[in-house]
Amino acid sequence: MATTPRRKPRSAKSSEVPDTEELVRYYRDMLLIRRFEEKAGQLYGMGLIGGFCHLYIGQEAVVVGMQAAALEGVDTVITSYRDHGHMLACGMDPKGVMAELTGRIGGYSKGKGGSMHMFSLEKGFFGGHGIVGAQIPLGTGLGFAHQYSGDGGVCFAYMGDGAVNQGQVYESFNMAALWKLPVVYVIENNKYGMGTSVERASASTALYERGTAYGIPGAPVDGMDILTVRDAALEAAEHARSGKGPYILEANTYRYRGHSMSDPAKYRSKEEVSKMRTEHDPIDQLKAKLLELNAIDEAGLKEIDREVKVIVTEAAEFSQNSPEPDPSELYTDILVDA
């Protein structure tokens, strides 16, 4: 964990309790990501998904909480390669996402992009980028486009704790602050950039302070608690939307799985993983809260489980039944016909 003293993260208790329907929706959205990723891991194990496959399990509260502050049809989202959760949270079709993972024609990119490269202009999702940190100037450009067109939108640009040491991140921070671009930078600090802990990679581990030199406000947030994330997201988005410029949120979170599928995760102890899973799981925490608030009963939760299971099963079936791209697809989409 971080060695630098941190500001006290906001507590969920301080926030107004949102209506229960909304809470239940967060639960469902997080559960969908969890079950989808578990299924993706399983399909990988069966050889149906190849190459890199970076699972989001454990981090679900971050993107679902952030999306609670997004204006549908206006705001934009961009992230790096651990991206399936962001796609689902943006409302992209699980079938299209899973079929892209299996490299089939029914995938979002017709099987030509894979796990790290999917896009949906309709849902405001701009990828899915495989070069660590490159999504940050790109996302800053989305913020620029929001400002240029005056559409009132905000770009949520996500990066991991590994990307924060890329130079282009600071080039972006500088321009975003200089031009007051509507961008919320979300640092998903899951403690490890591949196998290197934050402490071994960053001279200063208070990542939310990385915009200080540019006058960009930043705040740490408990990324395992969806209501805390949601409150921080609302504040950050409001700041960016109102013309005050960018905002940095450092969501402290945890990935349960390895960096990608072939990572045995020897750089951390089993106890550390197990402690996060049992004491801080974002889905279990919200489940307990829902029951405590009488927002839903056990039968209702079971019904959501069942519904999510059906969606994921159908996505998995679609991803296996959708044909591989026709050989002629090799030669399409290189250039747009002028």
Under rule CB under 8 A, which residues in 217-236 are in contact with another protein?
Answer: none
Strands (E), the chain: 76-78, 155-160, 183-189, 192-193, 196-197, 218-222, 247-252
Q: Does 112 bind another protein (CB under 8 A)?
A: yes
User: What is the nearest approach in angstroms of another protein to the Cβ of residue 150?
Assistant: 10
Burial of 215 (0-12, 13-18, 19+ CB in 10 A): exposed
Among 59, 80, 120, 202, contact with another protein (rule: CB under 8 A): 120
Which residues on adjacent β-strands are paired with residue 81? none
Site for another protein in 297-326 (CB under 8 A): 320, 324
Site for another protein in 74-103 (CB under 8 A): 76, 78, 102-103
How far apart, in Å, are the Cα atoms of 193 and each of 58, 62, 79, 258, 336? 15, 17, 15, 11, 36
Report d(CA 210, CA 250) in Å as an integer: 10
Site for another protein in 175-194 (CB under 8 A): 175, 178
Choices 115-123, 200-208, 232-240, 244-252; region in contact with another protein by CB under 8 A: 115-123
Report d(CA 214, CA 85) in Å as an integer: 30
Q: Does 111 bind another protein (CB under 8 A)?
A: yes
Site for another protein in 158-177 (CB under 8 A): 167-168, 171-172, 174-175
Of 281, 254, 252, 275, nearest to 6 (Cα)?
Answer: 252
Among 14, 271, 292, 327, contact with another protein (rule: CB under 8 A): 327
Question: In sequence order, what DSSP letters do the residues of 79-147 get, joined into one string?
Answer: --S--HHHHHHTT--HHHHHHHHTT-TTSTTTTSS-TT---BTTTTB-----STTTHHHHHHHHHHHHH
Q: Does 215 bind another protein (CB under 8 A)?
A: no
Pairing of β 218-222 and β 76-78:
unpaired
Q: Does 134 bind another protein (CB under 8 A)?
A: yes
Site for another protein in 60-79 (CB under 8 A): 76, 78
Site for another protein in 16-45 (CB under 8 A): 35, 38-39, 41-42, 44-45
Q: Does 48 bind another protein (CB under 8 A)?
A: yes
Q: What is the DSSP letter of 166?
A: S
Which residues on adjacent β-strands are paired with residue 183? 155
Residue that is written with structure tokens 């060695």 in the block: 3
Q: Does 205 bind another protein (CB under 8 A)?
A: no
Q: What is the DSSP letter of 186?
A: E
User: What is the nearest approach in angstroms of another protein to the Cβ of residue 289?
Assistant: 20
SS3 326: coil
Choices 67-75, 142-150, 218-226, 289-297; region in contact with another protein by CB under 8 A: 142-150
Among 9, 65, 139, 193, contact with another protein (rule: CB under 8 A): 139
Q: Does 5 bind another protein (CB under 8 A)?
A: no
Total of chain residues touching another protein, rule CB under 8 A: 77
Pattern of binders to another protein over 247-286, x per CB under 8 A?
---------x-x--xx-x-x----------x---------
Which residue, 203 or 334, is less far from another protein as judged by CB?
334
Which residue, 7 or 306, is less far from another protein as judged by CB?
306
Choices 206-214, 240-248, 286-294, 329-337; region in contact with another protein by CB under 8 A: 329-337
CB atoms within 10 A of CB 108: 24
